[in-house]
């Protein structure tokens, strides 16, 4: 059985096609006009994304690289503050903290800044502001390692940097950027702190 054919004429142009094909084109055209995002799905691209390790204008610091989605945290760029915020104690020596995530420094920092015990490194990072952004935090251990993998050159090599990840009531994880060595130090030690923030895409 031959398919039903439809002839379309416009000026000198004539198109002949099966009715079923025309129906599909008509439906696709309607969806393209009514629901353009659904009909024309394009991946999100950042044409103006600077190279990893370079300053990201307007974002408060340096592009630390793309962090894949994990748990409730969607994929994002880690923005590293352009400068350290000094040497501080972690705080809360001999006290257990809920800041135990090895991957989510933002949650850790929120715990540390609201636990009622002084946590100087986390507070210094949370207070940091740049380019109108006030959502910086002390990175977790895995976030520090992410920084070392992607752009260790933007960190000092003659000191250790605190993470926001507690190891025990007595110590927390830190990192040395000269060699990527992670260990733990006593919470009373004054180590370097570098704020970071997230840029969601």
Domain interval for residue 9: 5-39
Task: Please give the pLDDT value at position 37.
Answer: 43
The Cα–Cα gap between 64 and 81 comes to 10
- For residues 28 and 64, membership in a common domain is answered with no
Do the domain assignments include residue 46?
no
Task: Please give the pLDDT value at position 192.
Answer: 98
pTM, two decimal places? 0.77
Do the domain assignments include residue 44?
no
Do the domain assignments include residue 62?
yes
Maximum Cα interatomic distance, the chain, rounded to a whole number of Å: 88
Task: Please give the pLDDT value at position 201.
Answer: 86
Look at the chain and count its residues. 201
Left, alpha or beta for 71 (phi > 0: left; psi -120 to 50: alpha)?
Answer: left
- For residues 80 and 32, membership in a common domain is answered with no
Do the domain assignments include residue 48?
no
Tokens of 106: 């933002």
Do the domain assignments include residue 90?
yes
Task: Please give the pLDDT value at position 35.
Answer: 45
How far, rounded to the nearest angstrom, does the alpha carbon of residue 113 sit from its chain's CA centroid?
A: 21
- For residues 73 and 123, membership in a common domain is answered with yes
Task: Please give the pLDDT value at position 160.
Answer: 98
- For residues 62 and 28, membership in a common domain is answered with no
Task: Please give the pLDDT value at position 19.
Answer: 61
Q: pLDDT tens digit string along 92-130?
A: 999 999 999 999 999 999 999 999 899 999 999 999 999
Q: Specify the number of domains making up the chain.
A: 2
Q: Consecutive sets of 10 residues in the chain, 201 residues long: mean pLDDT of each?
A: 60 60 51 43 60 97 97 96 98 97 98 95 98 98 98 97 98 97 97 98 86
- Whether the Cβ atoms of residue 193 and residue 160 lie closer than 8 Å to each other: no
- For residues 27 and 122, membership in a common domain is answered with no
Q: pLDDT tens digit string along 73-92?
A: 999 999 999 999 999 999 99
- For residues 180 and 101, membership in a common domain is answered with yes
């Amino acid at each position: 059985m031959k398919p039903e054919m439809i002839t379309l004429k416009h000026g000198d142009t004539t198109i002949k096609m099966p009715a079923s094909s025309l129906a599909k084109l008509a439906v696709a055209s309607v969806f393209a006009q009514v629901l353009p995002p659904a009909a024309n799905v394009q991946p999100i691209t950042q044409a103006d994304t600077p190279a990893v390790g370079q300053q990201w204008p307007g974002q408060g610091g340096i592009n630390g690289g793309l962090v894949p989605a994990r748990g409730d945290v969607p994929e994002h760029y880690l923005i590293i503050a352009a400068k350290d915020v000094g040497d501080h104690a972690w705080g809360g020596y001999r006290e257990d903290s809920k800041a135990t995530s090895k991957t989510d420094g933002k949650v850790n920092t929120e715990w540390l800044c609201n636990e009622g015990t002084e946590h100087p490194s986390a507070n210094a990072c949370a207070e940091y502001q740049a380019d109108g952004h006030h959502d910086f935090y002390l990175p977790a251990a895995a976030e520090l390692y992410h920084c070392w993998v992607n752009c260790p050159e933007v960190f000092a090599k003659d000191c250790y940097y605190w993470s926001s990840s507690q190891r025990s009531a007595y110590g927390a994880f830190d990192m040395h950027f000269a060699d990527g060595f992670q260990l733990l130090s006593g919470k009373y030690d004054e180590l370097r702190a570098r704020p970071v923030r997230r840029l969601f895409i």
